[in-house]
């Protein structure tokens, strides 16, 4: 099983970016999918998550600006980021709690995608 994240880049303050993450491999089902981020010199922090049933949760710092969504048929999760601020600059990681075809459950992580918010 692999998670592949994409969509990062450089954007001006107030701009928008959309991150995507696709899970591939021996997947039976995916429970929670989430986004985390890690800024230089800081610990990785949780940003947003979504259950397979569609329930969402957001960190206070991004609530109202970021929207998580997923396409269960394609095993993908997205993060729409609007009204970006310089403090959103970080490497963004997707993660997923996956039931494999051998019935084991594991947390998987993507490789990270850089988001830089700067004028």
pLDDT digit string (tens) for the chain, length 119 residues: 999 999 999 999 999 999 999 999 999 999 999 999 999 999 999 999 999 999 999 999 999 999 999 999 999 999 999 999 999 999 999 999 999 988 899 999 999 999 999 99
- pLDDT given at position 66: 98
Give CA–CA dist 75/81, Å, rounded.
20
What Cα–Cα distance (Å) separates residue 54 from each residue in 32, 68, 70, 98? 9, 10, 8, 16
In a 10 Å sphere around its CB, with 0-12 CB exposed, 13-18 middle and 19+ buried, how is residue 60 labelled? Answer: exposed
Q: Do the Cβ atoms of 79 and 110 come closer than 8 Å? A: no
């Amino acid at each position: 099983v692999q998670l592949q994240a994409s969509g990062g880049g450089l954007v001006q303050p107030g701009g928008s970016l959309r991150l995507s993450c696709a899970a591939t491999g021996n997947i039976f089902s995916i429970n929670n999918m989430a986004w985390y981020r890690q800024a230089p010199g800081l610990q990785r922090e949780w940003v947003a998550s979504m259950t397979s049933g569609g329930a969402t949760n957001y960190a206070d710092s991004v609530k109202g600006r970021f929207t998580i969504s997923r396409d269960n048929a394609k095993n993908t999760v997205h993060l729409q980021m609007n009204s970006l601020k310089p403090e959103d600059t970080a490497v963004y990681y997707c993660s997923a709690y996956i039931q494999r075809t051998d019935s084991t459950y594991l947390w998987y992580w993507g490789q990270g995608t850089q988001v830089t918010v700067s004028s």
